[in-house]
Structure 1
Amino acid sequence: MEHRFVTVDGTELHYSEWGDETAPPVVCAHGLSRVGRDFDPIARSLSDTYRVLCPDLPGRGLSEWYGDPAGYSNQAMVELLTEFCDVLDLESIRWIGTSMGGGLGMALAGGPLADRITHLVVNDISPDPVQDADEEALGRIIKYVPHPPTVSTVTELEAYYRETYGPFFSEMTDSEWRRFTVTSARRTDDGRITPAYDPRIIESLDEDASGDPWTVWESISAAICIVYGTDSKILPREPLEAMLEHQPTARTVEVDCGHAPALNVDEQREPIAEFFSE
């Protein structure tokens, strides 16, 4: 893995890159308050065949923060990711998006990157989660994201992550939880530890990226794979069935968990590798 930085529309983005730079590209887009390093397990497994790029979106990880939180809107992220792919000359793109990153993938595959995204993996998100997700589950996210904890030790932050995500994510080992924590932690000005994101990322989140999301979903011509947690409250069964009705050739990967599958074990990674090879 290499750490790389690129300036996109005046904003410095950090991304981790795996594999040969001449190989077909895979772009991995993370969830709302997460970072590109969440994809380390699947990026490593795909890197023998693909060039895997895992950006930290602005306000997350090692990427630049915006002075104005309006920069974090869905529309702004779609435009920024389009330029990210332009700057790096990415063509024939395979896309993996977890949660918010899946929503951005839909907007791109049904919009500005429609002629470049050939394979789209949507990890546990519907086209319109504000309307489709369980109200209590969505409320939990809206409640904790703007108020990240500040603690004294990395061990305390790991305990917070386990408590916050553990009941919902697919199973992770102790070493995976430690990696998850270390790759998404930052020091505050007073030397304490907090999650590596700008708490304001949620303020402009509901700004629409692409018009009616279900119309966009129906318009996608890329091959589609939907990964979903059988107990997910962010992608309940009803919107999942509607997604398949509107995209009947889409395949599914079922994972025994809530929101969201971590893409960290062979049972989750291998179907995606097979999907990409077709």
Structure 2
Amino acid sequence: MPRSDEFVTVDGIEIHYSAWGDAADPTVLCVHGLSRNGRDFDPLARELQDEYHVVCPDMPGRGLSEWADDPVDRYSNAAMVETLVAVCDALDFASIRYVGTSMGGGLGMALAGGPLADRIDGLVINDMPPNPETDSAPEALGRIMEYVPDPPTVETVTELEDYYRDLYEGRFSEMTDAEYRRLTVTSARRTDAGRVTAHYDPRILAGEDDDEGPDPWDVWAAIDAPILILRGTDSDILPEEPFERMQDAQPDAEAVEIDCGHAPALNTLEQIDPIRELFAE
């Protein structure tokens, strides 16, 4: 079945999601990185759609989902966890397999170790440690803090593609020219003045979380679902030490390294086959 664009309103925010495959099949929920959107999972969803109902939402403030009036509350990790629970409830997902890249991986850990512990039957963490504030390299967090709030505004889509190539080449796993074009087209929006910029709310970093929440490493250790950890060998978001610690805390987890930085694009069989194998268990 072809990809369809769907919408659901939860907690007063309209959420856009791409849906692939037959809704009667088991559900795979794919959640993207900080300033990305659900279309990043097109290659993975295309491979899985014959066996699964693949659902790829744009989180609030990204892609075609509604922007928040209050970014401090609505863009926090805790609020996004609540949004994903509400999406699963609204769409009647009693059982899901979950794939999360970067930020989406962090949300997946919180869900699998918390409110969706009884619904997540398989968990894929793509290049994300339990606590990036302490586990990731400081220069990686500095890079994110620099570029995310200030996306470029340019005259043409091809200029935006040049920006994305400069930003992601050498970090994402290798992508073809066609894949970079798709990434750009699905990540672009026109401003009121007719120029082109990234398709997300520049305020997404304004979200604030309660420091009194549970230790993310305790949450990680408590997850009781089959787990696959993917890591870019040169990733500065998931360096080698926390990657090994994650395996120590979850000794039954599968772990696969991909020759790239942050993060594997989930666009080749080398990356997709381990996901397929985990979900088939």
TM-score, length of structure 1 as denominator length:
0.98
Unpaired segments ≥5 residues, structure 1: none
Measured in 2, the distance between the counterparts of 1:208 and 1:117 equals: 26
1:55-90 deviations in whole A, cap 9, x for unaligned? 000000000000111210000000110010000010
Q: Does 1:174 align with 2:177?
A: yes
Q: CA deviation at 1:210?
A: 4.8
| Alpha-carbon distance in structure 2 between the residues aligned to 1:272 and 1:208 | 33
SS of the residue corresponding to residue 13 of structure 1 reads strand
Show the counterpart of 2:8: 6
Residues 34-183 of structure 1: pairs in structure 2 closer than 5 A: 34-70=36-72, 71-183=74-186
Name the CA distance, whole Å, in 1 between partners of 2:188 and 2:94: 32
Distance across 1 between alignment mates of 2:209 and 2:263 = 20
Q: Which amino acid aligns with 1:86?
A: D
The alpha-carbon deviation at position 37 of structure 1 amounts to: 0.2
Quick check: 1:120–1:223 contact (8 Å CA) kept in 2? yes
Alignment of 1:146-225 (within 5 A): 146-204=149-207, 207=210, 210-225=213-228
Q: CA shift at 1:208, angstroms?
A: 5.5
Q: Deviations over 1:99-130 (max 9, x none)?
A: 00000000000000000001000000000011
- Structure 2 Cα separation of the partners of residues 208 and 136 of structure 1: 22
Give the residue type in structure 2 aligned to 1:20: D
> 1:264 — aligned with what?
267
In the TM superposition, what whole-angstrom CA distance separates every residue of 1:123-166 from its partner, at most 9, and x where no partner exists?
00000011000111110011100000000000000000000111
Equivalent residues of 2:78, 2:209 under 8 A apart: no
SS at match of 1:76: helix
Residue number in structure 1 paired with 2:279 = 276
Shift of 1:261: 0.2
RMSD of aligned residue pairs (Cα, Å)? 1.0
Check whether the contact 1:170–1:260 (CA below 8 A) recurs between aligned residues: yes
- Distance in 2 of aligned mates of 1:126 and 1:172: 24
CA spacing shift, 1:102–1:36, aligned 2, 3 Å = same
Q: C-alpha distance in 2, partners of 1:136/1:80?
A: 30
Moved over 2 A (4+): 205-210
Identity of aligned pairs, percent? 65
| Amino acid in the other structure paired with 1:28 | C
Question: Cα–Cα, structure 1 residues 205 and 227, in superposed 2: closer, same or farther, change >3 Å?
Answer: farther
In the alignment, the residues of structure 1 paired with residue 156 and residue 102 of structure 2 have an alpha-carbon distance, to the nearest angstrom, of: 28
Give 1:206 shift.
5.2
Alpha-carbon distance in structure 1 between the residues aligned to 2:123 and 2:37: 19
